[in-house]
Structures are given as C-alpha cells and as structure tokens.
A and B are shown apart, each in its own frame.
Chain A
Amino acid sequence: MIEFEHVVKDYNGITAVDDISLELSAGKICVFIGPSGCGKTTSLRLINRMIEPSSGTIRLDGTPVSKIKAEQLRRGIGYVIQSVGLLPHMSVRENIGIVPRLLGWDRNKRAKRADELLELIGLAPAAYRDKLPHELSGGEAQRVGVARALAADPPVLLMDEPFGAVDPLGREALQREFLSLNRELKKTVVFVTHDLDEAIRLGDRIVLMRDGKIVQDDIPERILGTPHNEFVREFIGADRALKRLSCFTVESCMHQAAVLEQALLEDGKPPADLEVNGTGTLWIVDAGAVPVGMCRRSDGKWGDVRDVRAEELGVKTLSSLRDALSRLLGRGLKAVPVLSDGNRLVGEVRLTDIEAVNQSDGYV
C-alpha cells in the first residue's frame, strides 16, 4: 500500500504538487492523469525518491520512504518510463538482469529469470535474449522495459507514460497484454498517462490532477458518469459515452454463441430445421473451434454462409466494449465473435448488449 500524506513539492516558488493526500491500495492499478504540468509525473517520482518532497510524507507499506536508502528503495520498485531507457550496449537478457545484478544474483539465476520474463511478456527467449535494444521495435522494447521492471519481482510498479511512444495499434496490444499480465501478478501499479482512453482501459482507479491538486479521484465509471466539475467534464470531452464503453471488457457482457461445426453443413448450408436464439447468428467453426464462417437466419430461413477471418472480426475477452462496438458498426453486424488466445470461439457480443450497458447509467 502507498500513502501520500500532505505531500508538497515546490520548485523555486512553483508548486508542482500541492498538498496531496492519497491511499493507493495494494494489487490495484491507479492511474494519475491530467494536462501536462499538472504534477502527475512529479507525484510518481516522489514515490521512489527520484524527487524529494518539500514537505509531507509518503509511506510504502507503512514505512516512510525517506527512512529507506534511496537505492535500496528503488531496487524494490519496478520503474518503466516512456523512453524505455534500455542500456544500448547491453543485450535484452543483460538489460532484464540489471536489478538482479545490483541485488547480487549470480549469472545463472539472472539468465533463468530473464528467460522466464521474456516468456511471460510473449517474446521467445531463444530469439530475443541476445538481441540489442536497437534491434527491437518500439513495442518490443517497451515489453522488455516492463520485463526489466519485473525482474526482481517488486510488489510495486511505477509506470510513467510507458506506452506513450508506441503507435496506436501497438499501444492497444500492450495495454491489453499488461492488463492480463497484472491480473496474474497483482502488482500495485501507479501509472501516469495523459491519454484518457488508456486511463479508463487500465485503471482500477483514476486520479485526475490539475495544477498540483487532485480534482477527482474515483473509479473510471464514476469519473465518466458523474464528473465533479466543469474541468473534469471538459477533460473527458463530449464523447464520454463512447469512452465509458472502454471501462467494460467484453467478458463482462458476452453471451454464449450458437455454433455449428463446418463438417455438419449440408450443401454449404446449415440444416434447415436448426433454430438459434438471440440475433439469429450462427458461427461456423473448424475442428479447432476457430470461426471460419457465419450465417444469419431470418424469416425462418438460413441465408448464405459468409466467410469470416477470425483474427480480423473477433475481439478478445479482455478487449473493451468500445472495440467491439467499432467492429459491429464497421461490419454492419448484430454480433461479433469473442475469441480466446488460440482464436477459439468462446462467445459473442451483441449490439443490444452494448446498448444495455450504455443506458445503465442514464446517458444517451
């Protein structure tokens, strides 16, 4: 648990952080957000003493951080920044092994840990461990940055706009991966961003800051649903209904899908007497449960089977409803398939589900 108690940071008369008190609970992702210069990064860097407060106390699990030697404190806290900061002269494996090396682990243990972490972040150890940072793409470098922060298994992760320099597509993938990673690892994460979508997607809690002060500190749904004042409303923007959809994962409202194995098609059509509920959509899957086609039933008759490419059309269980909506509208469908990691069909999301969620708090 991290506590801020009346924390102030002054820079030659400019107050970057103005009397902040906060309690961040263990195992949750807390996002600091706000316009540039609002003090979010300063607040983050106060936690691992990269910046010392002018007054006030920050406690980590009850111990004031000022009582812990700065280097020792930092070795126990994962740190990820926007520019990644991989050491350019060290291989991926050596980079991941830096904190363990500072902590005095032997070479074998470090190498083993690096391989474990590469596996965890989805980069094949054999292919990546000996690469140098300049041989990595932006997304890969950022994954390695996350792995490096996790190397000594610290309970707390500080992330300062970690995905900010990655292209939008890559950023979404990184966010999704990070979310599922932290479901497993349950780190206490303090995350700084200026991207509201990112905050909503990742945060268990959002702390919106302005001029060094906290404007609103809430769960994402409430930040979007009941903004405290005009500033918050403005910051969220007019499309908050759409943004709110980012708060919900597909998982939370997916339905069972009607499925037919490809081999059971009769003359390229589903059996005429097969009835389905819901939107009347039937997913044709191959032997591995991967969707290959779809078919709609209307007026008691089956239409033509349309070919489907699972990875293009499907959403993942941890994708947001906003993602799902965009695919629904883009294809003019009533439902899209929800896929597990191997592109296996696990359910469907329907347009009606999304409408229901959207109306659940009275916003139109």
Chain B
Amino acid sequence: MRLACEKTTALGAIIGLGALSMPFLLMKENRVALGEPYLYHSLPQGPHVLLPLTLLVLSLAAAFLPQRSAVRAGKIVLGQLYLAVMLTALSLAGAVLVAPEAFGRVSPSSGFWLAILAAYILIQGSLKNAQVRYSLRVLIGVLPLIFAGGLFLAGLLDSLAVVMEFANRQARFMSELTTHLYISLTAVGLATLVGVPLGVLAWKRRHLEKPVFGGVNGLQTIPSLALFGLMIAPLAYLSRQFPVLRELGVRGIGNAPALIAITLYALLPITRNAYTGLAAIETGVIDSGRGMGMTRTELMRYVEVPIALPIILSGVRVSTVQAIGNTAVAALIGAGGLGAFVFQGLGQGAPDLIVMGVLPIIALSVFMDRGFAVLIAVLTPPGQKDVHSD
C-alpha cells in the first residue's frame, strides 16, 4: 500500500524538529552584549525537551493519516500546544537566566523564530481548504497572541530584552505609535481623496488615461528614500519663503515631507483600482441603466459604486499596508513613528530595540490588512463575491 503524505504538515514538523537543534535564546549581560546561545535542551528551566519532541513526532505521524477533519483538528491542537510550550520555555528559562545579572536579559534566537514558523505552518496548513467557520479561524489565529499577551501582562516575559526596551520607553512608544498611525492613515486618506477622482478621470476621458498612469507609475518607481530626500530642498525653501507654512509645521524635514511622499506612493494602487473597478462594469450595464432612465446620481448609486467599490477598497487596502511600511522609513527624515526605534536600534547596535520597533509595524500591517478584508467582504454585493473573494 502506498503511503499518502500531507506535505505541508510534514514540512512544518520537520522545521519544528530542526528548530530544536538551533540556539533557542541568547543570554546577554547587557543590552549591547552579543549574548551566549542556549539550545532548547540545555535551558535551565521549562518543559522537558521530550514534550515538544513528542508533539512534533505526533504531527509528523498525522501527516501520513487520511486528512479527515478529526486529524486536521488534532494537528491544529498539536501546533497550538507546541507554540505554548515554546513561549512557556522562553518565559521560565529567561527568568532563571537573568536573575543573577543586574542588566541581564534574554533574546529569542533562531531556534525560537523557526519554532514559530513551524507552528504557523502546522496550524495554517491544516486550516487551508478546510471547511472552518470564519470566526473559528480568527480564534485559532489569535489564540497564540492572547497567550503571549497574557504572559506579557502577567510580567512573565519581563526577562526578555524586547520587553525591557519597551518598559524603558513606554510613554514614547505610545506617542510614536500614534504618530505612525497618524502619518500613514492621513496619507492614505489624502491619496484616496486624490486617487479615486484621478482614476475616475482616467476612465471617463480616455485621452487622460496615459498621462495619469504615467504619472502615478513614475512616482512608484522612485525609491522611497530618494523621494524623501527630494522633498527636503523644495519644502525647506517654501517654508522659508512663506512664514504661514512654517507656522503650519511645514519644513524640509519632519511630518510634512513624509506625508507628501507617502501620499504620492499610496496613489498608484488607489488610482489603478478605481480605474479598474469602473472599467470592470460592462458597457451594456451602464447603457441599460441610462436607457431605463437613471440620472447621473442614480447611475452612480445603483450601478457604478456598488460594482466598483470592492475593487477600489482593495486598492486602499494595498495602499494602507504599503503606507505603514513606508512610514517606518520616514523616521529617517525626522517624521517620527515606530521607524524611529528601528533606526535608533540600528545606531546603537541594539537589535532588541529594532525588534521592538518592527513587531508593532508588522502587527499594524496585518491588522489593517485583515480589517480591510472584512470590510470588503461585507461591502461586496452577493453577485460580485466570486469576482473578488479573499
């Protein structure tokens, strides 16, 4: 008899096994020290290595079973348990390791990150193509986050370098997070206000299609750093010439050039999708709408907006994720935001500070992306569902 193997699960389990043979965490005497690596089995405290090993072997075995829903559920539970074991080990071992050192701290290392990847593959691989309710999917996805958040709030992750960096900058963290959100969301808002009319214009006036897309495409090809740089000189000049602008906070560096540059970047996906969304409406549909006696406004309300809106929103979604990333770079020209921590960490050679800046950026991107996915799903009329499902 031929053995059927579910490859995704097998891959996840093998990566998980590999993770156990790599440095699990680094013990550092202070924030810039290189640190001493510890493998999982040499940790002074935490669940015995046989526990994660057993979970992974069971997952591997499950890969060779027929993929019934019970087996899938089992794999998800194994993945979640594996993740929980890793977090617990990090917490318990960290606490023991840093106790004797005044400035001691631990950082997760390659083994830990690989373990996260392995768990992700195990869990998501089992969810793929499975008939699982959306709410259950979300719960499975956020369960590890809730567990990690619980550990953090209970003070059980205080030995982690990232947490220490955070504890030292709590007030600033909130203000940088706000700045980050402010810059990226304002930019996307502005880009929507400009980009949607541009897309509509390109659709209505065929001769403007080329110049409009030539423009927004061209903007996209300029590297973000270069565009930030390009903004400095003209804005500094304008700000010196017009005191009004200076009072509004427009200077060569800071918020203003960042906002402008990120807005320009956000234009392309929004403009393109506005155009595509409208172009996707069959001419017959518009013709029959007019022929039935719809006014300009009614045509927009009953035909153009319902059909094009989901596509326009997916453009805004792409732009938002992009803008959150670009805002990180904007810290370089003094705009602030979470990127400030990243560059500070780079400057000080403190990798944990970098991680502290990067983690919330990733979280923001994922959160916005999922938020838009839900919004689009809600706003997509039933007849269009198959056209752009996510």
Bits for A99-128, please: 1 = Cβ < 8 Å to B, else 0. 100100000000000000000000000000
The verdict on A133 contacting chain B, using a C-beta distance below 8 Å, is yes
Question: What's the Cα separation between A98 and B289 when bound, in Å?
Answer: 9
CB distance from A157 to the nearest CB of B (A): 11
* SS of B interface (majority): helix
Q: By the criterion CB–CB under 8 Å, are B383 and A74 in contact? A: no
Q: By the criterion CB–CB under 8 Å, are B285 and A87 in contact? A: yes
Question: What's the Cα separation between A73 and B293 when bound, in Å?
Answer: 7
The verdict on B178 contacting chain A, using a C-beta distance below 8 Å, is no
Q: By the criterion CB–CB under 8 Å, are A87 and B287 in contact? A: no
The verdict on B381 contacting chain A, using a C-beta distance below 8 Å, is yes
Query: Range of interface residues on chain A?
Result: 20 to 34
Instruction: Tell which of B283, B286, B384 touches A89, judged by Cβ atoms closer than 8 Å.
Output: B384
Chain B residues near A71: list those with CB within 8 A.
293-295
Q: By the criterion CB–CB under 8 Å, are A102 and B298 in contact? A: yes
For window 311-337 of B, CB contacts with A under 8 Å fall at none
Q: By the criterion CB–CB under 8 Å, are A89 and B291 in contact? A: no
Chain B residues near A90: list those with CB within 8 A.
381, 383
CB distance from A131 to the nearest CB of B (A): 10
Q: By the criterion CB–CB under 8 Å, are A81 and B291 in contact? A: yes
The verdict on A85 contacting chain B, using a C-beta distance below 8 Å, is yes
Q: By the criterion CB–CB under 8 Å, are A85 and B287 in contact? A: yes
The verdict on A50 contacting chain B, using a C-beta distance below 8 Å, is yes
Chain A residues near B307: list those with CB within 8 A.
87-89
Q: By the criterion CB–CB under 8 Å, are B292 and A79 in contact? A: yes
Instruction: Tell which of A74, A132, A145 touches B290, judged by Cβ atoms closer than 8 Å.
Output: A74
The verdict on B382 contacting chain A, using a C-beta distance below 8 Å, is yes
The verdict on A29 contacting chain B, using a C-beta distance below 8 Å, is no
Question: What's the Cα separation between A238 and B216 when bound, in Å?
Answer: 59
Question: What's the Cα separation between A227 and B298 when bound, in Å?
Answer: 47
Q: By the criterion CB–CB under 8 Å, are B284 and A74 in contact? A: no
For window 75-91 of A, CB contacts with B under 8 Å fall at 75-76, 79, 81-91
Tell me the number of A-to-B contacts counted with CB atoms below 8 Å.
80
Chain A residues near B117: list those with CB within 8 A.
none
Q: By the criterion CB–CB under 8 Å, are B295 and A81 in contact? A: no
The verdict on A309 contacting chain B, using a C-beta distance below 8 Å, is no
If the complex has contacts A89-B383, A133-B383, A134-B383, are A84 and B291 also in contact, measured as CB distance less than 8 A? no
Chain B residues near A98: list those with CB within 8 A.
289, 292, 302
Q: By the criterion CB–CB under 8 Å, are B289 and A85 in contact? A: yes
Instruction: Tell which of A84, A89, A158 touches B381, judged by Cβ atoms closer than 8 Å.
Output: A89
Question: What's the Cα separation between A74 and B293 when bound, in Å?
Answer: 5
Q: By the criterion CB–CB under 8 Å, are B292 and A99 in contact? A: yes
CB distance from A77 to the nearest CB of B (A): 8
Residue of A nearest to B283 (CB): A83
Instruction: Tell which of B285, B291, B384 touches A48, judged by Cβ atoms closer than 8 Å.
Output: B291
The verdict on A72 contacting chain B, using a C-beta distance below 8 Å, is yes
Q: By the criterion CB–CB under 8 Å, are B294 and A102 in contact? A: yes
CB distance from B316 to the nearest CB of A (A): 19
Chain B residues near A84: list those with CB within 8 A.
284, 288
Q: By the criterion CB–CB under 8 Å, are B382 and A50 in contact? A: no
Residue of B nearest to A75 (CB): B293
Q: By the criterion CB–CB under 8 Å, are A75 and B292 in contact? A: yes
The verdict on B306 contacting chain A, using a C-beta distance below 8 Å, is yes
Question: What's the Cα separation between A72 and B287 when bound, in Å?
Answer: 16
Chain B residues near A158: list those with CB within 8 A.
291
Question: What's the Cα separation between A72 and B298 when bound, in Å?
Answer: 13
Question: What's the Cα separation between A88 and B284 when bound, in Å?
Answer: 11
Instruction: Tell which of B288, B303, B306 touches A79, judged by Cβ atoms closer than 8 Å.
Output: B288
Instruction: Tell which of A72, A74, A88, A134 touches B291, judged by Cβ atoms closer than 8 Å.
Output: A74
Residue from A48, A70, A79 having most chain B Cβ neighbours under 10 A: A79
Chain A residues near B290: list those with CB within 8 A.
50, 74
Q: By the criterion CB–CB under 8 Å, are B295 and A85 in contact? A: no
Q: By the criterion CB–CB under 8 Å, are B284 and A81 in contact? A: yes
Question: What's the Cα separation between A74 and B292 when bound, in Å?
Answer: 6
Chain B residues near A73: list those with CB within 8 A.
293
Residue from B282, B292, B383 having most chain A Cβ neighbours under 10 A: B292
Q: By the criterion CB–CB under 8 Å, are A132 and B282 in contact? A: no
If the complex has contacts A72-B293, A73-B293, are A85 and B384 also in contact, measured as CB distance less than 8 A? no
Q: By the criterion CB–CB under 8 Å, are B298 and A132 in contact? A: no
Q: By the criterion CB–CB under 8 Å, are A83 and B284 in contact? A: yes
Chain B residues near A145: list those with CB within 8 A.
288
Residue of A nearest to B306 (CB): A89
Question: What's the Cα separation between A50 and B287 when bound, in Å?
Answer: 9
CB distance from B35 to the nearest CB of A (A): 57
Question: What's the Cα separation between A166 and B288 when bound, in Å?
Answer: 18
Q: By the criterion CB–CB under 8 Å, are B381 and A83 in contact? A: no
For window 374-390 of B, CB contacts with A under 8 Å fall at 381-384, 386
CB distance from A68 to the nearest CB of B (A): 11
Question: What's the Cα separation between A99 and B293 when bound, in Å?
Answer: 7
Chain A residues near B295: list those with CB within 8 A.
71
CB distance from A110 to the nearest CB of B (A): 14
CB distance from A358 to the nearest CB of B (A): 40
Chain B residues near A132: list those with CB within 8 A.
382-383
Question: What's the Cα separation between A75 and B291 when bound, in Å?
Answer: 8
Bits for A154-171, please: 1 = Cβ < 8 Å to B, else 0. 000010000000000000
For window 270-305 of A, CB contacts with B under 8 Å fall at none
Chain A residues near B289: list those with CB within 8 A.
85, 87, 98
Residue of A nearest to B309 (CB): A89
Residue of A nearest to B280 (CB): A88
If the complex has contacts A71-B295, A74-B293, are A89 and B382 also in contact, measured as CB distance less than 8 A? yes
For window 168-189 of A, CB contacts with B under 8 Å fall at none
Chain B residues near A74: list those with CB within 8 A.
290-293
Q: By the criterion CB–CB under 8 Å, are A83 and B282 in contact? A: yes
Chain A residues near B383: list those with CB within 8 A.
87-91, 132-134
Chain B residues near A72: list those with CB within 8 A.
293
Q: By the criterion CB–CB under 8 Å, are B284 and A85 in contact? A: yes
**Additional pairs, 12, CB under 8 Å, beyond known A73-B293, A81-B284:** A79-B291, A81-B288, A81-B291, A82-B284, A83-B283, A83-B284, A83-B287, A88-B383, A89-B384, A98-B292, A132-B382, A134-B386
Q: 22 interchain pairs (CB within 8 A)?
A: A70-B293, A72-B293, A73-B293, A74-B292, A75-B292, A81-B284, A81-B288, A83-B282, A83-B283, A83-B284, A85-B291, A86-B288, A87-B383, A89-B306, A91-B382, A91-B383, A98-B292, A99-B292, A102-B293, A132-B382, A134-B386, A148-B292
Residues of A within 8 A of B (CB): 48, 50, 70-76, 79, 81-91, 98-99, 102, 132-134, 145, 148, 158
Residues of B within 8 A of A (CB): 282-295, 298, 302-303, 306-307, 381-384, 386
What 10 A-B pairs have minimum CB-CB distances, sorted nearest first?
A: A85-B288, A83-B284, A89-B381, A74-B293, A75-B293, A79-B291, A85-B284, A89-B383, A132-B383, A71-B293
